[in-house]
Amino acid sequence: MGEWTGYEGDYERACAVDFVDVIPFGRDAQALIFGDEPAATAFLPEMDTFVQWMYADPGVDVIRALGTVTDARWETGPIFEISGPLVLLDAALPGADVTLDQPRQDGFGAEALSIDITPGRYRVESADVQPDEHTCFRLHRFVNEGE
């Protein structure tokens, strides 16, 4: 995390990602980039899925809303090798300046989160889901390539 330069260099390459991609940084590190516009993001460990808040009424129960989704169209994304905990952070922040926080109860709102995922090779799949006309989330799930 400390090698991520943020606005001093890596940020420009992250901004060039349209949707989802993996970019190298530092000596031997890689970053999984969720492109597009900045969006509050949380990780749901029970689903091995990142959730980006596109729009919703304040206070919406994310887990309950996602439980109503039955027709997600998953798009296949990049392959990502995970060797240890992931850190979710705003790409503009230099890694050395980031403080790992506890998220709010709904999983959103921390400056940076450390996320434990079983090491392995994963395919990232993404889908936009709209449980109702007032709610939309972008999901990014990890599918273990070893299974």
Arithmetic mean of pLDDT over the chain? 80
Residues 8-60 have pLDDT tens digits of 888 888 888 877 888 877 777 778 888 766 778 888 887 778 888 888 888 88
CA distance 86 to 72: 25
pLDDT attached to residue 113: 76
Q: Name the region of 97 (left: φ>0; alpha: ψ -120 to 50; beta: rest).
A: alpha
In which band, very low, low, confident or very high, does the pLDDT at 87 lie, cut at 50, 70 and 90?
confident
What is the percentage of the chain residues whose pLDDT exceeds 70?
89
Q: What is the pLDDT of residues 115-130, one digit of tens each?
A: 888 889 999 899 999 8
CA-to-CA dists, residue 44 to 5, 18, 71, 84, angstroms: 27, 23, 19, 17
So what's the pLDDT on residue 53? 83
